Every structure is written in structure tokens, then in C-alpha cells.
Amino acid sequence: MKTALLQCNPVTGDIAGNIERISQAVRRAGKVDLCVTPELALSGVAPGDFLSMNDFVEGCRKGLDILAARFVAGPDLLIGAPVVSVYNPDLLSNAAIHISHGQWDVVSRKIRPEASRDPDARFFDRGVSCGILTLSGWRLGIVLCENDTADSFWAQGTGYTPLLDLISRGVDAIIHMKATPYIIGKRADMEAMLTHVAARHHIHLLSVNLIGGNGGLIFGGQSLALDPTGAVYARGQAFAEDVLIVDMATGTAPVAAVGKVWQENVFGALVLGVRDYVRKNGLEKALVSLSGGIDSALVLAIAVEALGAHNVQAVLTPSAATSTEALAGARRLAERLSVPVCELPIDALLEGYDEALAPALAGADPTPAVHSKLQELVRGSLLATLASQSSALILNALNKSETALGYCTLYGDTVGSLGVVADLTKTQVQAVARWLNEARDIFPASVLQNASQTRISRQKTGLALPYAELDTVLDALLAAQPRRPLPRIHERQDEVRDRVFGMEFKRRQEPQPLYVSDKPFGRAWTVPLTGKFNLP
């Protein structure tokens, strides 16, 4: 039986557009027996309160009718979409719908754990059992899941084990429809898990994943086909739409290459995240403020890869405090990437602010710390003005180490719509930049030398730690297991922890991050907005 895994990139809420995207992928598949989409391919992932709107749910139903009428002559389709629950009419089911001969039926519903982290879980029922589809002599067990790197994927904490239940009912293959976001280092774990399942139960396993950016989430694709020995005989492309045609009878299909190092995968994920964030919001252009440092340099390189140099503008806002070397490095980088530059010196503006503030300050000069923040505020206002004038989106270059400790100025260097590297620590930013430079040689020497300035400022944070030490403490803090003591790895880790807790008010006002870690701020790791961590 020939099956096409449709690794598609839906736009959340764009049901009419998603119908066309699915249809194009089906036509691209050609003569196959079955086409399979990821979960929620018709509605798009994370639709939020769209799911509470009757028009939206009715639109999904009409979309299924349209697809059924369009492919009366085949092939059969297996589509992920929300439908009204048969268990509770006030809820929906995250369902797999079989379309055949002009008709559609729900064949499987997602089994949800009691403690799901999915913010949309409140709209969906928890499911009862997975369904079986019989096609071309094959009994296909259909599973929809969001987490395939832990035992909870197969045993959802409900006392029901979907995989073992399907196997006990005598299936020839498992079709796994998912929308699993990219997380650094998790691809190998996922593949190992699926290999174990296929080999242990001697069963075919087809896993189709979404691709695309959706807000801060990035879906990486890399759909898989495994034979009953657990061998991967087909793999979809990473971070790109693909139609993966597999033949379970012969076990033959293309196997796309995977990134050799994690830095390559992170770069691909961030490029996709930027491209889709800009374009799915109806924009084309982006602005990047270049400081001469490694963070903004990497963001500019990502933006050019995602949008093309003609759609990116670099903004330089030097002051008397800007080093000649940093300014020259920023100019050279923009030239190497063929990006137009807008250079706006800010010293005259700062003098104007000083004059305007003088009466309020009773003749006193702003402190050095206040004057430093004022520079960032002026830069932020210039960027925001340019973005409004050119209908461009500002890409922010703060990293996770800086946002953790509040090493930024609200409404200044926090300005922007998207935090491109906000879920990467400083050491990770440096590692990705070094990998990219080895491959393409785009960063001037001065930019790379600035990357070696590895100590966070005491003036702004009260701490003076090398980034390598700080990031080790941050990683341990974010990875801590519930109700287990954090191991003592640094003499100042309590200071770091307290600083991180105290900066939540800043993080809540920063740009939307692109999520690439398993513990991103604001999504998987949160602390109270107001409060104090003070133990007896």
C-alpha cells in the first residue's frame, strides 16, 4: 500500500487556505492509496479561542465537506481537524477524519492526559480510544499525540495505553499524526522511541509531523517511516514542506539527511520561525538593530536567510560610547550580507533629552546608569518609528541569559515583535554563530572578538559572572525536577536564582520568543509576576 505523508505548513485559522494547501499536497502525491496529514492540519495548530467560536467549528466541517467532494475519485485522505465531540456537545475532539468516496467519518480521537500542558486542552474532550482504519487489506491503527519522547506518549496517565490497545486488536501498522514542536536535542530521542516501539511490537509505524512557525512554536517536520525491525526507511525534510511517499509492502522511500550538529538544526528552526512569523502576519520586511555584537549579527544572518536581503534593513544608532571597531564591524557585516543600512547617530538626540530633563532633575546630570538606559530608549524609539514608516517588523536580539537576569532596558533594547534568539543562552548564541561562520565566513573578526566578551555586567545586574558559568546555573535551574533539591553547582547560584525570579516583570513585556528549548521562559517555565522568593 502506497501512503503519502503530507508534511504541510498550515496557517492557523485560515481554513480556506489550508484546504488549498492540503489539496496541492494531495495532487503532488500522485497515485497513492492514502494521504495522511499531521494533526489539526485543517484548522492549524494552537487556534486558542477560535475553537470556542461556532463559525470556526462550522468552517472546519465545511472544509471536510469540500475535501470530500474534491477527491471523490481518490485517493483516500486521513485529515487532522477539530470536530464536535460525541461525548460532550460543549467540547470538541482533536480527531483524525477518513475521507473516501465523497464521504468523511471520524476514525480516531486524541487521548489527552489529565495534566496536559496544552493551553487548548480546555476546548477538547479527553478521548476514549484510538480507532482502526481498514484499507487495501491493511488494518491501520490511528494515534494522535503531542509528546513522543516520553512514556506518557503511549500511556497518557488515564489508565489506557493507546498503542498496546491497538496492537492487541490486531493492527498491521500504526499511523501517528502529530504536531510536535522542535526542541534542541529531542529529535534523536524521538526517533529512538519510535524505533523501540516498532521493533518491540514488530509493526510498521508511520509518523507524520507538521512543519512551520506558529507564534513562538516551530514545527520541524522530519516525518518518519519505520519497518517492523525498527529501521527508518523514510524521513521527510527538516523545516521544509514535503510529501513523503512510502510503500509499506516494499519498505522503500527517500531518506532525507538530518543536521549533523545541533547548531545546524537550531539555525534552520529559527530561519523557519522568522519567515513564517513575518509572512503569516501579512508582512514582508524586517528591521534589525546592529550593535557590532554577536547576538544582533546572528539575528541579521537569520533574517537574511529567512526573508532575503532585499527585505531586511540594518539599523545602526551609534553614540559617543560606541567603539569605532564595533561600528566598523557592523557596517562590514551588513555589506557582506548585501543588506541596506540606515545609520542614525543619537548624540544630538541625547543632548536634547538632557536639556529637556534638566528642569525635572533640578540641574543634576543623569547618573551613568540612567544615561545608558536613555541611549537604549532613544534607539528603541527610532526603531519603532522606522518600523511604522516602512511597515516592517522589528527582530529583537536579546538572548536568554540577558532576559533571565533582566540585562536589558524596557522599551529600549526590548523593543520588537519577535525575540529571534530569546530562547538561546549567550553560550548557545556564540556556538551557533561559530558554526555558521565556519560554514559561510560571514562575520567580521571584530564581531567574533566581541563574542569573546563573556562577562555579564555588574552595573546592570549586580552580578559579574562569566556567561559560561551563568548559563550553567541557568540550565540547572530550568531543568530542575519538581520538588527535588537543586544540586550545588556554583557558589552564587542562589543570587542568580533570586535575580531570575525578580525579573519576571520584564520578561512579560519582552517580544514573543521563538521557542527551541524544553524550558522556555513564559511557556514551560513561569514564576509569579509579583512576589518574592524568601524562605525562612
Q: What is the pTM of this model?
A: 0.93
Measured distance CA(67)–CA(333) in Å, rounded: 48
> What pLDDT does residue 451 have?
60
Instruction: Supply the pLDDT for residue 250.
Output: 82
> Which H or E run contains 103?
strand 103-109
Residue 304 lies in a domain: yes
pLDDT value, residue 156: 47
Q: CA-based Rg of the chain, rounded to a whole angstrom?
A: 25
Are residues 249 and 178 part of one domain?
Answer: yes
285 is catalytic: no
- Mean pLDDT, the chain, whole residue set: 90
pLDDT for 159 equals 47
Concerning whether 60 is annotated as a catalytic residue, the answer is no
Q: Catalytic residue, from 2, 8, 39, 191: name it.
A: 39
Q: Is the pLDDT of residue 472 over 70?
A: yes
Whether residue 476 lies inside any domain: the answer is no
**Of 203, 237, 258, which marks where a domain is finished?**
258
Provide the residue range defining the domain that includes 425.
266-453+504-513
Same domain, 70 and 184: yes
User: Which of 241, 258, 275 represents a domain boundary (last residue)?
Assistant: 258
Would you say residue 154 has pLDDT above 50? no
Q: What's 23's domain CATH number?
A: 3.60.110.10
Residue 187 is assigned to a structural domain of this protein: yes
Task: Assess whether pLDDT exceeds 60 at residue 155.
Answer: no
What integer pLDDT is reported at residue 358 of this predicted model? 86
Q: Cα–chain-centroid distance for residue 7?
A: 16
What residues pair up with 144 in beta bridges, in sequence order? 177
Distance, CA of 415 to CA of 397 (rounded, Å): 10
Q: Are residues 254 and 281 in the same domain?
A: no
Looking at the domain assignment, is residue 492 inside a domain?
A: no
Q: How far is CA 465 from the centre of its chain?
A: 29
What are the CA-CA distances from residue 130 to residues 110, 167, 174 (Å)? 7, 11, 11
- 153-160 CB contacts, 8 Å cutoff, 24+ apart: 153/193, 154/197, 156/111, 156/112, 156/113, 157/113, 157/114, 157/115, 158/111, 158/112, 158/113, 158/114, 158/126, 160/111, 160/129
Q: What is the mean pLDDT of residues 175-182?
A: 94
- Dump pLDDT digits (tens) for 241-299: 999 999 988 876 667 777 789 999 999 999 999 999 999 999 999 999 999 999 999 99
pLDDT interval class at 157 (50, 70, 90): very low
* Residue 483, pLDDT above cutoff 80: no
Average pLDDT over residues 10-17: 98
Final residue of a structural domain among 258, 284, 308: 258
Q: Which residue has the cell 487548548?
A: 120
Pair 336, 412 in one domain: yes
Q: Which band of pLDDT confidence, cut at 50, 70 and 90, is reported for residue 452?
A: low
* Residue 321 and residue 178 share a domain: no
For 100-130, how does the pLDDT look when each residue is reduced to its tens digit (9 = 90+)?
999 999 999 998 766 566 788 899 998 877 8
Model confidence pLDDT, tens digit, residues 322-355: 899 999 999 999 999 999 999 999 999 999 998 8
Task: Provide the pLDDT for residue 532.
Answer: 84
Active-site residue identified among 2, 110, 280, 506 = 110
- Residues 458 and 462: their CA atoms lie apart, in Å, by 5
* Residue 39 annotated in active site: yes
Decide if 49 is inside a domain.
yes
Of 130, 145, 280, 469, catalytic = 145
Q: Are residues 277 and 239 in the same domain?
A: no
pLDDT in tens, 194-205: 888 899 899 999
Alpha carbon distance, N-terminus to C-terminus of the chain: 66
Q: What is the pLDDT of residues 356-372, one digit of tens each?
A: 988 888 878 788 888 88
- DSSP per-residue string spanning 454-498: -B--HHHHS---BHHHHHHHHHHHHHPPTTSPPP---TTHHHHHH
* 270 and 196 part of one domain: no
pLDDT band at 455 (very low <50, low <70, confident <90, very high): low
Task: Determine the distance from the C-alpha atom of residue 36 to the mean position of all C-alpha atoms in its chain, rounded to a whole number.
Answer: 23
Q: Which amino acid, residue 247?
A: D
- Same domain as 153, residue 180: yes
Task: Judge if 309 and 449 occupy the same domain.
Answer: yes
* Within-domain flag for 311: yes
Count the domains in the chain: 2
Give the separation between CA 417 and CA 511, rounded to whole angstroms: 5
Bigger pLDDT: 56 or 156?
Answer: 56
Of residues 189 and 183, more confidence is placed in 183
Residue 153 predicted with pLDDT over 70: no
Residues 344 and 214 in one domain: no
Q: What is the mean pLDDT of the segment spanning 81-96?
A: 95
Residues 238 and 297 in one domain: no
What CATH code is carried by the domain that includes residue 340?
3.40.50.620
- Do 242 and 299 sit in the same domain of this protein? no
Q: Is residue 458 part of a domain?
A: no
Q: Helical H runs in 391-421? A: 400-405
Does residue 7 lie in a domain region? Answer: yes
pLDDT exceeds cutoff 70 at 16: yes
Res 160: pLDDT: 52
Once rounded to an integer, what is the mean pLDDT over residues 487-499?
A: 89
DSSP alpha helices (H): ranges in 319-358? Answer: 324-336, 347-357
